[in-house]
Structure 1
Amino acid sequence: MRYPPHIWRSRTMTRLAWPSAPPEFRNVRLRAFTNNDVGMVLDLSTDPYLPQIGSLPGNADAEQAHAYIERQHERLGTGAGYSFCVADRRTDEALGVIGLHLASIAAGRASAGYAVAPRSRGRGIAGQALTALTRFAWSVPGVHRVELYIEPWNLSSVRTAEFAGYEREGLLRSHQEIGGSRVDMLLYAATRSAD
Structure 2
Amino acid sequence: MDPLIQPVIDACGYRLRPFNAGDAPLIQDASSDPLIPLITTVPCNGTRKEISEFIDRQHHRLVERSGYSFAIADADSDQALGQIGLWLKNSNHGRASIGYWVGPSHRNRGITSAALESISRWGLGQPDIHRLELYVEPWNEGSWKTAEHCGYMREGLLRSWEEIGGERKDMYMYSRLG
State the TM bucket, normalised to the shorter chain: over 0.9
Q: Does 1:191 align with 2:147?
A: no
- Tell me the amino acid that sits aligned with residue 144 of structure 1: H
Shift of residue 70 of structure 1? 0.4
- The CA deviation at 1:17 is 3.0
Alignment partner, residue 78 of structure 2: 92
Deviations 1:143-175 (A, max 9, x none): 111100000000111111112111111111111
Paired residue for 2:94?
108
Counting matched residue pairs gives 178
Once the two structures are aligned, what percentage of the paired residues are identical? 46
Kindly indicate whether residue 153 of structure 2 is the aligned counterpart of residue 158 of structure 1: no
Query: Equivalents in 1 of 2:67, 2:140: separation in Å?
Result: 24
Name the residue aligned to 1:7: 2
Q: Which residue of structure 1 lines up, in the alignment, with residue 48 of structure 2?
A: 62
**Partner Cα separation in structure 2 for residue 183 and residue 124 of structure 1:** 27
Q: SS of 1:7's equivalent?
A: coil
Report the Cα distance in structure 2 between the residues aligned to 1:7 and 1:117, rounded to whole angstroms.
Answer: 32
- Contact 1:7–1:76 under 8 Å retained in 2: no
1:129-144 superposed matches below 5 A: 129-144=115-130
Residues 1:18 and 2:6 aligned together: yes
- Offset, 1:18: 2.2
CA contact (8 A) 1:131 1:164 kept: yes
Native 8 Å contact 2:74 2:80 kept in 1: yes
The aligned counterpart of 1:13 is: none
Q: Which has the higher helix share?
A: 2
2:22 aligned partner: 36
* 3-state SS in 2 of match to 1:72: helix
Three-state SS of the structure 1 residue aligned to 2:162 is: strand
Q: Structure 2 stretches of 5 or more lacking a match?
A: none
User: Mind listing any 5+ residue stretches in structure 1 that lack a counterpart?
Assistant: 1-5, 9-15
What's the TM-score once normalised by structure 1's chain length?
Answer: 0.87
